[in-house]
Structure 1
Amino acid sequence: MPNKVVSVSATMGNSYTITADVRGHHLTIDQPQNARGNNEGPTPLELFLFSMSGCVATIARTVAMQERLELRGMEVIAEGELNPAGLLGKPTEDRTGFQQIRISATIDADMTDAEKAEFLDRVCDRCPVHDNVKLSSEVVHQLG
């Protein structure tokens, strides 16, 4: 199967507000007012964790359909902890990103807890966002 390219273009003006039009969906990222933002949207880190939760839930729906499981619903919580010193330009021994990301899922389906845990393992193994965080992906940056 050929590779699929996913692309998003984001634009920032003279504030922290960043916008993108993704397949006709207008998205906004911003900082809270106490961080000199306009509070017009989630921060990049919040949106990143939402992407993780959303991808896990989306893949869960796909796996459930493929395995003919009745998945009535699911709540996925992703939380990460980081030392903000690096992103603020301050010296730190810690990496700039999350030290660990924890995913917790509540699954509404007729499965035992053991079956739900195995299902979540299968889902996370197939989730591209989970994979990109768990394994390192080459990131290349350049001027446009």
Structure 2
Amino acid sequence: MLTTMKANVQPTGKGVQMQCESRGFKFILDEPQEAGGMNEGMNPLEGALCATGACLGIVAASFAQAKGFTYESFSIDLEGDVDPDGFMGIADVPKGFQAIRFNVNYKTSEPQEKCDEFTKFMEETCPLCCTFAEGVKVTYSNTVA
């Protein structure tokens, strides 16, 4: 069954800062001062990395027991490569991430092979990893003036 998730984003009136809201939860995305922001929050690409890491982590927490994988704790480090010249129109390069990489750091007694296998499962199951890997159609649907 298809579920439609909704969000609303609006300017805060402070530089390029945006207030993001979904299901009554709110957070701020911003840019560093050198990019016209107030530096009061992550920029959207940093937020996307964090959301991806959180999504991977939720997969781990949700499926570890069913997959017979045990851990005491874990953390996920992510990095994404982006060339700002694409967004700025300076160069004909992609405007978004060209690559995203992540490492999972487990505190576990599981063997390396089982850790690798579970991490691969996380990557293949994570909705945001799948969205990035498979692409998603983003369409403009309406403007209200």
Deviation, structure 1 residue 68? 4.3
- Sequence identity percentage: 23
Contact 2:69 2:110 in 1 (8 A): no
The aligned residue for residue 57 of structure 2 is 57
The aligned residue for residue 119 of structure 1 is 118
Q: How does 1:38-57 map to 2 (within 5 A)?
A: 38-57=38-57
What TM-score, normalized by structure 1, do the two folds share? 0.90
What is the alpha-carbon distance in structure 2 between the residues aligned to residue 44 and residue 78 of structure 1? Answer: 15
What TM-score, normalized by structure 2, do the two folds share? 0.90
**Given the alignment of the two structures, is residue 36 of structure 1 paired with residue 29 of structure 2, yes or no?**
no
Contact 1:52 1:129 in 2 (8 A): yes
Deviation, structure 1 residue 44? 0.2
Deviation, structure 1 residue 80? 0.8
Structure 1, residues 4-34: CA drift from partner, whole Å, max 9, x if none? 2111111114421100232332210001122
Contact 2:80 2:100 in 1 (8 A): yes
Q: In structure 2, what residue type is equivalent to 1:121? A: K
Contact 2:30 2:38 in 1 (8 A): yes
Helix, strand or coil at the partner of 1:85: helix
C-alpha RMSD of the superposition: 1.5
Q: How does 1:29-108 map to 2 (within 5 A)?
A: 29-92=29-92, 94-108=93-107
Structure 1, residues 52-93: CA drift from partner, whole Å, max 9, x if none? 11111110111113234333221111111111111112232x
Where do 5+ consecutive residues of structure 2 fail to align? none
What is the alpha-carbon distance in structure 2 between the residues aligned to residue 102 and residue 108 of structure 1? Answer: 20
Where do 5+ consecutive residues of structure 1 fail to align? none
Q: Structure 1 stretch 33-42 or stretch 62-71: which is displaced more?
A: 62-71
Deviation, structure 1 residue 46? 0.3
**Given the alignment of the two structures, is residue 7 of structure 1 paired with residue 1 of structure 2, yes or no?**
no
Q: In structure 2, what residue type is equivalent to 1:45? A: L
What is the alpha-carbon distance in structure 1 between the residues aligned to residue 94 and residue 69 of structure 2? Answer: 40
